[in-house]
């Protein structure tokens, strides 16, 4: 896995470069299509046998990188792949920061085959690992996280996606005295941030996409953080989709180990626009660009800057 990881970083870089011309052009779909095509093309040059467990949608909805698609040359280790060619397509379209390209991978059979639906989530860094639960009120979680992080509750910073559905959650956090940090997109980025000392985020909470939850969980497993999720099928069609994808108890709380069952995994990302995790792409001379990427696995936790 470690030997393959560098090639996967290159795949995220190719996707970021392909997406960059669409920054600020107000066109999400062409940007996503360009990044997806570049990512897929590079993955198919790598000697591994991969299956997309988290991708751009179902086979009849996405021309490339659909759930269940086979990638790689077919020669080499069997690996589960989770991709987000652009985490923050709206940000790219608007020319705003924090857009990244992401790949997460683990041993075959290790990643939850999550359908594209909402998931209730909570994520924390290493100090608070084992201290959270979706089955208790947010106030109880904040008390536990504050104690684990050596802080007062009033010193905690909780990232919540700026959506109407989170109005009650935001009020509950504020009633404890903790600070709500609103973000518009890229909940993968905020989940990773809980594990990084240089970014002052103690918890991420709320409802977001299940695919992004699985990708974020891979990073948290590597970095020593914690994550819990609960799928929220909105109707019987979505519930049946869970069953069809091997999730026998769609309403069960999912622990970190349920989302990614192997320590042999990695998480790679490349910045498209400047953000809290990575710098965006910088055009250079002679058709060269500078990108910033990072790679996390069980033996490598470092930022890579490659032209």
- pLDDT at position 56 is 76
Confidence class for position 301, pLDDT limits 50, 70, 90 = low
The rounded distance, in Å, linking the Cα atoms of 92 and 96 is 6
DSSP H helices, the chain, are 2-19, 28-43, 89-94, 138-149, 167-175, 187-193, 210-223, 236-244, 256-259
**CATH match for 118-259 among 3.10.105.10, 3.40.1010.10, 3.40.190.90, 2.40.50.140:** 3.40.190.90
CATH number for the domain running over 2-108+264-306: 3.30.540.10
| Residue found by looking up tokens 């091997």 in the block | 246
Mean pLDDT of the chain: 91
The rounded distance, in Å, linking the Cα atoms of 56 and 11 is 16
Q: Fold match between 2-108+264-306 and 118-259?
A: no
- pLDDT at position 6 is 87
The answer, yes or no, to whether residue 26 has pLDDT greater than 90, is yes
The answer, yes or no, to whether residue 302 has pLDDT greater than 60, is no
Confidence class for position 287, pLDDT limits 50, 70, 90 = confident
Any idea where the domains of the chain sit in the sequence?
2-108+264-306, 118-259
pLDDT digits (tens, 9 = 90+) for 210-262: 999 999 999 999 999 999 999 999 999 999 999 998 899 999 999 999 999 99
In the chain, % of residues over pLDDT 90:
80
Q: What angle do CA 259, 100, 233 make, to 5 degrees?
A: 40
Segment 133-144 mean pLDDT: 97
pLDDT digits (tens, 9 = 90+) for 53-108: 998 766 455 556 888 899 999 999 999 999 999 999 999 999 999 999 999 999 99
């Amino acid at each position: 896995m470690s030997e393959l990881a560098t090639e996967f970083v290159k795949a995220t870089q190719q996707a970021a470069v392909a997406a960059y011309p669409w920054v600020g052009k107000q066109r999400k779909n062409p940007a996503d299509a360009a990044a997806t095509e570049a990512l897929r093309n590079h993955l198919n040059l790598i000697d591994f046998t991969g299956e997309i467990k988290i991708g751009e949608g179902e086979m009849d909805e996405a021309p490339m990188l659909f759930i269940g698609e086979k990638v790689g040359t077919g020669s080499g280790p069997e690996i589960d792949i989770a991709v987000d060619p652009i985490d923050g397509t709206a940000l790219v379209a608007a020319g705003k920061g924090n857009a990244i390209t992401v790949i997460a991978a683990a041993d075959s059979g290790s990643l939850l085959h999550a359908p594209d639906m909402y998931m209730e989530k909570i994520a924390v860094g290493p100090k608070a690992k084992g201290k959270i639960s979706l089955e208790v009120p947010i106030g109880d979680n904040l008390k536990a996280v504050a104690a684990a992080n050596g802080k007062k509750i009033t010193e905690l910073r909780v990232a919540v996606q700026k959506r109407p559905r989170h109005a009650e959650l935001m009020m509950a956090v504020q009633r404890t005295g903790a600070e709500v940090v609103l973000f518009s997109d890229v909940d993968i980025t905020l989940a990773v941030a809980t594990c990084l000392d240089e970014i002052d985020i103690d918890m991420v909470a709320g409802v977001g996409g299940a695919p992004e939850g699985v990708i974020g969980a891979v990073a948290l497993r590597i970095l020593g953080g914690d994550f819990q999720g609960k799928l929220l099928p909105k109707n019987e069609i979505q519930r049946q989709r869970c069953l069809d994808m091997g999730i026998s108890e769609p309403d069960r709380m999912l622990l970190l180990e349920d989302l990614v069952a192997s320590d042999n995994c990695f998480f790679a990302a490349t910045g498209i626009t400047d953000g809290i995790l990575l710098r965006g792409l910088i055009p250079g001379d002679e058709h060269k660009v500078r990108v910033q990427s990072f790679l996390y696995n069980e033996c490598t936790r470092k930022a890579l800057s490659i032209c």
